Amino acid sequence: MDAAVRAEGLSKIFRVGFFARRVRAVEDLSFEVRRGEIFGLLGPNGAGKTTTIKMLLGFVRPTRGRAFIGAAPAGSLQARRDLGYLPENPALYEFLRGDEYLIFAGRLAGLSRADAQKQSASLLERVGLAGRADRPIRRFSKGMVQRLGLAQALIGDPHTVILDEPMSGLDPIGRKDVRDIILSLRDERRTVLFSTHILSDVEAICDRVGIMVDARLTDCGALTDLVAPGARAVELTLESATSELVARLQAQGARVLQGDRSAVFTFAEEGAARAALEASVAAGATVISFLPHRRSLEELFVARARGRAATS
Ligand SMILES: Nc1ncnc2c1ncn2[C@@H]1O[C@H](COP(=O)(O)OP(=O)(O)OP(=O)(O)O)[C@@H](O)[C@H]1O
Ligand SMILES: [Mg+2]
């Protein structure tokens, strides 16, 4: 019961067009965001991140499964009360001034006028808009809109903050600022869930990450587990390996690239590779090379995305 956000077997099928073609946006997604952590939902365009977030907020009804914010069902008043949200492409009221908009958002979040004014002033400071928000939003640059959207997500002091692509449209300094703000939210013991397709954002600030590809969660866990410094992939290259040996190594989990004379076996972790090395020597194969290399998050991500391309 200690999760700040929980998804249990969430699925969403959209029906589009005259023939109600089925689009599987999210498929059997289960994960938890723990209290006080920064969780990154990483996935390429169209993976289903926004749809997942909208189900967590209660904006989109799941076809199957359930979601909770704390103990409260997603979408319930109780769930929304303590939640801040930055949409993917925030469409803010263009004719309001930035500072007025923020006060308005604070009033919607249930703050008194005085509290809304106080919080909005300190939030404008926090997102780097102090002294620049006294003009209509339509005169804001893209980065300023994103910053104002972030301030809006934080007004009312929510314990859990869900941000859909918070760094999008920002220049390098803006990205760094937003990362720092997200880190400061964790320092205040808030929970942050954000989506992105940019690996470096995840690598820089997340405690745990979920990788989403083609509607499914392919990996979920601490960054250090997914790309543990110790968890190294190994490439073993052999010459004159018998077909029995090739079959045996394949059965032990190796990916095989068979050439004319040599074969390259890739093992996901070093232990299995060492066992294979011994077996190969015992079977009389010639060892050409044994090359461990560290798996980066990028490799993992690319491998997952390629896997999708290969199956679809
Ligand atoms: N309202 C909708 N009606 C029909 N299909 C939809 C709807 N919303 C999303 N989809 C489809 O669901 C899939 C997942 O979309 P989603 O927006 O959740 O992906 P995403 O991971 O947020 O992508 P991006 O990185 O581009 O924002 C896509 O194929 C999209 O076309
Ligand atoms: Mg999206």
Whether the Cβ atoms of residue 301 and residue 42 lie closer than 8 Å to each other? yes
Q: What is the DSSP string of 54-117?
A: HHHHTSS--SEEEEEETTEETTSHHHHHTEEEE-SS----TTSBHHHHHHHHHHHTT--HHHHH
Q: What separation in Å is there between the alpha carbon of 215 and the centre of ligand 1?
A: 9
Average pLDDT over residues 254-271: 85
Domain check: are 181 and 283 in the same one?
Answer: no
Domain check: are 182 and 241 in the same one?
Answer: no
Q: Tens digit of pLDDT for each residue in 115-148?
A: 999 999 999 999 999 999 999 998 888 888 999 9
Domain check: are 162 and 36 in the same one?
Answer: yes
- Within a 10 A sphere around the Cβ of 141, how many other Cβ atoms? 12
The span from the CA of 30 to the CA of 10, in Å, is: 7
- Nearest-atom number in ligand 1 for the CA of 16 is 4
Whether the Cβ atoms of residue 288 and residue 237 lie closer than 8 Å to each other? yes
Final residue before a domain boundary, out of 174, 193, 224: 224
Domain check: are 274 and 174 in the same one?
Answer: no
Which residues surround ligand 1 with Cβ inside 6 Å? 14, 16, 23, 25, 43, 45-51, 88, 197
- Within a 10 A sphere around the Cβ of 278, how many other Cβ atoms? 9
Q: Give the CATH number, domain containing residue 289.
A: 3.30.70.980
Domain check: are 173 and 275 in the same one?
Answer: no
Closest CA to 128 of 148, 106, 104: 148
Domain check: are 76 and 125 in the same one?
Answer: yes
Q: What separation in Å is there between the alpha carbon of 46 and the centre of ligand 2?
A: 7
Domain that holds residue 209: 3-224
Q: Tens digit of pLDDT for each residue in 270-289?
A: 888 999 999 999 999 999 98
Q: Which two tokens stand for residue 108?
A: 């919607």
Which pLDDT does position 230 carry in this prediction?
A: 59
Task: Tell me: pLDDT of 42 over 60.
Answer: yes
Alpha helices in the chain (DSSP H): 49-57, 77-81, 98-108, 113-126, 142-154, 172-187, 199-205, 223-226, 243-251, 270-282, 297-311
